Amino acid sequence: MFEIVERQEMAQGTIISNWIKAPKIAAKAKPGQFVILRANEKGERIPLTMADTDPAKGLINIIYMVVGKSTALFKTLQVGQGYIDVIGPLGQPTHLEKVGKVICVGGGTGIAVLHPITRGLKQIGNFVYSVIGARSKDLLILEDKMKAASDEMMICTDDGTYGHKGFVTDKLKETLEKDKDIKLAVCIGPVPMMKFCCKVTKEFGVKTLVSLNPIMVDGTGMCGCCRVKVEGKMQFACVDGPEFEGHEVDWDELDLRLRSYMVEEKVSYDQFKECHGGGKCSCCS
């Protein structure tokens, strides 16, 4: 078992942070890489990009939003309990490079993935703008950590309860207009957010990295489930990615493939909500 040593609920319990004991992974992991986790014998293999690591203590950090059965099941795991399987580090690490000025844009739990990349970019001497957003103030995560990793940070909320009222794309566009020296954008969040961020950066001709989260099974390039179209070619997010040049990604295809199991996901989640603890679902039977 991979034990949870620290657990925190964020964004009103919709987002959970776990520090997990996984010394081998912690020793090797680099920003941008992911792990696959399974809660129990009957569980799905869920890929999550690591939010942080502590190699000295042998710990990795994952931050996830509760969106369905598997993540709801993850949420039930308390300190001292753990995951039956944690596999990693998987995927290619982010290519961190000193380019001068960069802008890092994150939405929702994407901020958790963005943070180590932002920190890495700043550590090697880039000037870092960052834009983070959420639907509402209560749902915004990692504000302090992102602030520490940025030279200048902007906050957006859809409902205007904090920072700029509007989408992260507004601030992204504004910053790119203001500062023509920005050489690189890193945009991580929900698919529509990344898609529209890429539209903006393309107008300005700024290279843009995105981190994709297609459905996966093995995570080692064996099954092809996570195939995405990049530059018109089939790529596997698990081994070729998860980061890709955003202007080349076929977003509509990714968006459709993410809905492959919408019906099944609902069946599974409904059953979980109804019987969790009742001995009928996979978590308790």
Partner 1 sequence: MSEEVKAPKKEKIPRQKMPEQPANERRRNFEEVPYGYTPELAMKEAERCIQCKDPRCKQGCPVEIDIPGFIKHIKEGEFEAAIRNLWEKNSLPAVCGRVCPQEVQCEGLCILGKKDEPVAIGNLERFAADYQREHGKQILPPKADPTGKKVAVVGAGPAGLTVAGDLLLKGHDVHIFEALHGPGGVLLYGIPEFRLPKAIVFQECNFLERMGATIEVNAVIGRSETVDELLERFDAVFLGVGAGLPVFLKIPGEHYIGVYSANEYLTRSNLMKAYEFPVYDTPIVKGKSVATFGGGNVAMDCARTALRLGADHSYIIYRRSMAELPARTAEVHHAEEEGVEFLLLNNPTRFLGDDATGRLTGVEVLKMELGEPDASGRRRPVPIKGSEYTVEIDTAVIAIGSGSNPLLTKSTPGLALNKWGYIVADPKTGKTMKPRVWAGGDIVTGSATVILAMGAGRLASNSIHDYLTYGW
Summarize as ranges the residues that interact with partner 1 (CB under 8 A). Answer: 24-25, 28, 38, 42-45, 69-70, 73, 84-90, 217-218, 220-225, 227, 229, 234, 239, 253, 256-257, 259-261, 264-265, 267-268, 271, 281-282, 285
Nearer to partner 1, 44 or 243 (CB): 44
**Distance between CA atoms of 39 and 81, rounded to whole angstroms?**
10
For tokens 């912690």, what's the residue?
A: 26
Could you count the other beta carbons within 10 Å of the beta carbon of residue 20? 24
**Distance between CA atoms of 231 and 19, rounded to whole angstroms?**
36
For the bound state, the minimum distance from the C-beta of residue 92 to partner 1, rounded and expressed in Å, comes to 10
Nearer to partner 1, 32 or 43 (CB): 43
Nearer to partner 1, 3 or 170 (CB): 3
Three-state secondary structure string covering the chain: CEEEEEEEEEHHHCEEEEEEECHHHHHHCCCCCEEEEECCCCCCCEEEECCEEECCCCEEEEEEECCCHHHHHHHHCCECEEECEEEEEECCCCCCCCCCEEEEEEECCHHHHHHHHHHHHHHCCCEEEEEEEECCHHHCCCHHHHHHCCCEEEEEECCCCCCEECCHHHHHHHHHHHCCCEEEEEEECCHHHHHHHHHHHHHHCCEEEEECCCCCCCCCCCCCCCEEEECCEEEECCCCCCEEEHHHECHHHHHHHCCCCHHHHHHHHHHHHHHCCCCCCCCCC
Nearer to partner 1, 16 or 281 (CB): 281
For the bound state, the minimum distance from the C-beta of residue 87 to partner 1, rounded and expressed in Å, comes to 4
Nearer to partner 1, 124 or 223 (CB): 223
For the bound state, the minimum distance from the C-beta of residue 188 to partner 1, rounded and expressed in Å, comes to 21
For the bound state, the minimum distance from the C-beta of residue 221 to partner 1, rounded and expressed in Å, comes to 5
For the bound state, the minimum distance from the C-beta of residue 179 to partner 1, rounded and expressed in Å, comes to 37
For the bound state, the minimum distance from the C-beta of residue 110 to partner 1, rounded and expressed in Å, comes to 23
Nearer to partner 1, 202 or 229 (CB): 229
Nearer to partner 1, 42 or 165 (CB): 42
For the bound state, the minimum distance from the C-beta of residue 268 to partner 1, rounded and expressed in Å, comes to 5
